[in-house]
């Protein structure tokens, strides 16, 4: 019995014209690549010589890379949908229904709205909304988050006390994700709104900073070079004491502070 290659060459004489043109090591995949030249067997271009590569797997590597990125994207979206939480009071919050009850709040609204309009991944800017409760800091922060999502950006809104609880939950053996994976996601999203920073419970360790302070530093430090918005009910000095000088310094880097002033809209005209 004749070898298959011999039979094919007898049936298709053009195969005898196959020749090796070049041999080299691919810089992309590292494989040995052979370039062959062979005539087209049939069709209008029959007999025309073409060159083909054999041994290079760069295309396969690229497809695997794309698949990994898509898998990571889906994983991030799942984690964001799971962890980006708002209380029912904020679910319908948007720029359109924000109550601008004073010139100060009008300025805050304008600043937040412009922040969305000029948002650029290449030019990260942070915001810090401070002031007493009931002035719409969280409302505006969530409005920013929603608008950025509508622009197709990856934006997360979460309260700091809730976030710390979620981080602790990753220490459980049956947790779907590790602490490192969660922090990695939060460090890479396009926009992160950390609501009510300073409201978390802080228990000082015998030596060094508290666990909460350390986790906050990891999150804030990981956000360097990315857009972050903070809201707090504390004054600058109180916030500095609560989160620690190191965290406060990181927070204020490239950050525009906005102080909200006015009357608690939740109890306005509800005296008893």
Q: What is the pLDDT of residue 206?
A: 45
Q: Which two tokens stand for residue 17?
A: 């014209």
Looking up tokens 């965290």 gives 247
Q: What is the pLDDT along the chain (272 residues), one digit of tens a residue?
A: 555 445 445 555 555 577 888 899 999 899 999 998 888 877 888 878 888 888 899 999 999 998 987 786 677 667 666 666 677 788 899 999 998 888 999 999 999 999 999 999 999 999 999 998 889 999 999 999 999 999 999 899 998 988 888 888 889 888 877 888 888 888 888 999 999 988 766 555 444 458 888 898 899 999 999 999 999 999 999 888 888 888 889 889 899 999 998 877 666 656 55
CA dihedral 121, 125, 130, 136 (to 10 degrees): -40
Return d(Cα 228, Cα 125) in angstroms, integer.
7
| Radius of gyration of the CA atoms of the chain, in A | 29
Q: What is the pLDDT of residue 117?
A: 96
Return d(Cα 99, Cα 109) in angstroms, integer.
9
pTM of the model: 0.69
In CATH, what number does 77-260 get?
3.40.50.300
- Cβ neighbors of 263 (< 8 A, separation 6 or more) are 101, 134
Helix (H, G, I), strand (E, B) or coil at 68: helix
| Domain segments of the chain as ranges | 4-56, 77-260
């Amino acid at each position: 019995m004749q070898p298959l290659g011999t039979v094919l060459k007898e049936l298709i004489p053009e195969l005898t014209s196959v020749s090796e043109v070049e041999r080299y090591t691919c810089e992309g995949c590292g494989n040995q690549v052979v370039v062959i030249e062979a005539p087209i067997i049939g069709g209008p271009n029959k007999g025309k010589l073409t060159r083909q590569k054999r041994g290079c797997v760069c295309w396969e590597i690229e497809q695997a890379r794309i698949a990994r990125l898509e898998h990571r994207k889906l994983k991030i979206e799942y984690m964001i949908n799971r962890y980006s939480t708002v209380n029912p009071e904020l679910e319908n919050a948007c720029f359109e229904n924000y109550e601008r009850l004073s010139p100060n709040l009008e300025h805050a609204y304008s600043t937040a709205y412009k922040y969305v309009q000029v948002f650029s991944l290449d030019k990260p800017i942070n915001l810090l909304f401070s002031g007493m409760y009931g002035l719409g800091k969280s409302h505006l922060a969530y409005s920013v988050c929603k608008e950025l999502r509508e622009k197709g950006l990856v934006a997360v809104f979460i309260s700091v006390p809730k976030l710390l609880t979620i981080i602790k939950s990753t220490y459980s053996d049956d947790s779907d994700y590790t602490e490192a994976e969660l922090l990695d996601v939060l460090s890479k999203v396009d926009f992160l709104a950390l609501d009510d920073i300073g409201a978390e419970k802080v228990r000082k360790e015998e030596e060094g900073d508290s666990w909460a302070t350390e986790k906050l530093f990891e999150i804030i430090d990981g956000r360097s070079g990315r857009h972050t918005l903070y809201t707090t009910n504390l004054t600058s000095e109180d916030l500095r004491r609560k989160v620690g000088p190191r965290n406060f310094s990181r927070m204020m880097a490239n950050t525009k502070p906005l102080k909200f002033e006015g009357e608690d809209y939740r109890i306005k005209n509800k005296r008893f």
